[in-house]
């Protein structure tokens, strides 16, 4: 089978969506001839083509300033169109797709996110959409949680505009990947005729392990994630405001590291709080996870599933999460991680784990066993290939 993946970013195992794209791309390339078209502001990566054994790699540069973003959002409201659907459509990307299809015959085009699925492909070529999130759900949840009136209004408006576009693209695709059973049933309820399949997010269990010899630091708490992603921003601000003072009062020696690239000013400012470190981008998150006693996922907004939890569990770490944070994962509260949705019980769950190392060990070991059984990228890649072959057989 000859496949073309079209991605809004260069697949890269150093951050959320890029990690999923990278490992699925790698799994496909081990079985099929795979080419990649990436919409990105990064430099061309010849090493990626060699690592993943791509047939072809083409990139289309993208540069968007914040000022231009705000102007485009206002314009989308005036034009009564979805800002996100329009943002990801570029004529030069369509031309690049046309050029690659003219150069090779593809059996399927895999769009990484529903945003990229607005491009045209010839009749007879399967369209597969990899849904990292149910995007209109993420927008709706942001609307429900947001306090600032302008962001609240815009996310509600964008959710209403994007939903019919998202559902139509899923309806018209020959296959749609989702990350959890929850999203599978949600999508089937909204689009009964959709050919959906669950391909979970995963973790590289060979790389993420505690065998690097680094010792846990008493009282160390960690949050990991791309820090220009709004659900992550809101999560750390909530934890800093509502949970951290409670923890410091009972565990004065506690420290908290916020690890992830592109923190906005409001996150950078958290480093002024005693005990808090904001690292920004790091070359490798594993040493930070290795020294943490407790990993947290205090998310109030989300869709899809959280790689940060899978990576922490793979490192044998005790995790405290909200229900939204661990949504979609086949975890059991009290066995694989602790779950709390309000500030006081969330903080107390962290305090309890900091005070009881035997509980941390028990959760960490169970979490590691879970990811080995359910969430290795090898298993996720196999699920993708099975789904693809099934769709090809009934095309």
DSSP 44: P
Residue 52: pLDDT band (50, 70, 90) is: confident
Is the pLDDT score of 66 beyond 70? no
94 near 76, Cβ under 8 Å?
no
More confident residue, 125 or 50: 125
Is the pLDDT score of 65 beyond 60? no
For the chain, what are the domain ranges?
Answer: 2-202+377-393, 220-374
> CA-to-CA distance for 275 and 250, rounded, in angstroms?
13
- Chain centroid to CA 224: 12
Angle at 131 between CA 14 and CA 165, to 5 degrees: 130
**Residue 80 corresponds to which tokens in the numbers above?**
């009564």
132 near 177, Cβ under 8 Å?
no
**Comparing 2-202+377-393 with 220-374, is the CATH topology the same?**
yes
Residue 4: pLDDT band (50, 70, 90) is: very high
Model's pTM, two decimal places? 0.92
**Residue 264 corresponds to which tokens in the numbers above?**
């906005």
**pLDDT tens-digit series, residues 132-153:** 999 999 999 999 998 889 999 9
> CA-to-CA distance for 365 and 106, rounded, in angstroms?
44
If you average pLDDT over every residue of the chain, what do you get?
Answer: 93
Helix (H) or strand (E) holding 110: strand 108-112
Compute how many other C-beta atoms are within 10 angstroms of the C-beta atom of residue 119: 18
Across the strands, what pairs with 83? none
DSSP 108: E
Q: Which residues contact 63 (CB under 8 A, 6 or more apart)?
A: 41
Residue 121: pLDDT band (50, 70, 90) is: very high
**Residue 224 corresponds to which tokens in the numbers above?**
């990991």
Task: Name the superfamily (CATH) of residues 2-202+377-393.
Answer: Glycogen Phosphorylase B; (3.40.50.2000)
CATH 3.30.310.220 fits 220-374, yes or no: no
Mean pLDDT of 316-340: 97
Q: Nearest to residue 199, comparing CAs of 376, 321, 30, 395?
A: 376
Of the chain, the percentage scoring pLDDT greater than 90 comes to 82
Strand order, beta sheet including 276-280: 276-280, 255-259, 220-224, 294-297, 318-321, 338-339
Residue 352 has what pLDDT? 98
Is the pLDDT score of 44 beyond 80? no
**pLDDT tens-digit series, residues 334-371:** 999 999 999 999 999 999 999 999 999 999 999 999 99
**pLDDT tens-digit series, residues 69-110:** 888 888 999 999 999 999 889 899 999 999 999 999 999 999
- Using CA atoms of 15, 21, 22, 23 in order, give the dihedral in degrees to the nearest 10: 110
Is the pLDDT score of 41 beyond 80? no
Mean pLDDT of 247-257: 97
Residue 70 has what pLDDT? 80
> CA-to-CA distance for 297 and 97, rounded, in angstroms?
38
Is the pLDDT score of 42 beyond 80? no
Q: Nearest to residue 241, comparing CAs of 201, 276, 215?
A: 276
E runs forming strands in 188-254: 196-198, 220-224
**Residue 154 corresponds to which tokens in the numbers above?**
């815009």
Residue 46: pLDDT band (50, 70, 90) is: low
């Amino acid at each position: 089978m000859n496949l073309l993946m079209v991605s809004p970013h260069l697949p890269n195992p150093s951050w959320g969506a890029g990690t999923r794209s990278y490992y699925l791309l790698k799994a496909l390339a081990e079985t099929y001839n795979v080419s990649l078209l990436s919409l990105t502001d990064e430099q061309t990566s010849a090493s990626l083509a060699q690592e993943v054994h791509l047939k072809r790699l083409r990139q289309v540069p993208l540069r968007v300033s914040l000022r231009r973003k705000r102007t485009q959002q206002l314009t989308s409201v005036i034009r009564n169109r979805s800002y996100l659907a329009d943002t990801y459509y570029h004529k030069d990307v369509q031309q690049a797709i046309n050029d690659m299809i003219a150069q090779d015959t593809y059996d399927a085009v895999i769009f990484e996110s529903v945003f990229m699925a607005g491009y045209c492909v010839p009749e007879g070529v399967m369209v597969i959409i990899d849904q990292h999130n149910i995007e209109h759900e993420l927008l709706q949840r942001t609307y429900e949680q947001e306090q600032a009136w302008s962001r609240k209004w815009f996310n509600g408006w964008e959710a209403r505009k994007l939903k019919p576009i998202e559902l139509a693209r899923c309806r018209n695709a020959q296959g749609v990947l989702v990350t959890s059973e929850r999203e599978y049933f949600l999508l089937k309820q909204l689009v009964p005729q959709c050919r959906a399949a669950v391909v979970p997010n995963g973790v590289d269990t060979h790389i993420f392990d505690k065998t690097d010899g680094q010792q846990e630091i008493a009282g160390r708490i960690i949050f990991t994630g791309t820090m220009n992603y709004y659900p992550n921003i809101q999560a750390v601000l909530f934890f800093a405001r509502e949970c951290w003072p409670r923890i410091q009062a009972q565990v004065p020696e506690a420290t908290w590291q916020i690890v992830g690239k592109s923190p906005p000013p409001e996150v950078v400012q958290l480093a002024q709080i005693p005990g808090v470190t904001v690292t920004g981008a790091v070359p490798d998150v594993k040493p930070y996870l290795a020294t943490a006693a407790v990993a947290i996922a205090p998310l109030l907004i989300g869709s899809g599933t959280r790689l940060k939890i899978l990576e922490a569990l793979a490192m044998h770490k005790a995790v405290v999460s909200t229900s939204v944070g661990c949504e979609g994962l086949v975890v059991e509260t009290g066995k694989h991680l602790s779950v709390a949705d309000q500030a006081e019980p969330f903080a107390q769950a962290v305090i309890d784990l900091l005070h009881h190392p035997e509980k941390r060990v028990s959760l960490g070991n169970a979490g590691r066993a879970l990811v080995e059984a359910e969430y290795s990228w090898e298993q996720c890649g196999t699920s993708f290939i099975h789904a693809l072959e099934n769709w090809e057989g009934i095309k």
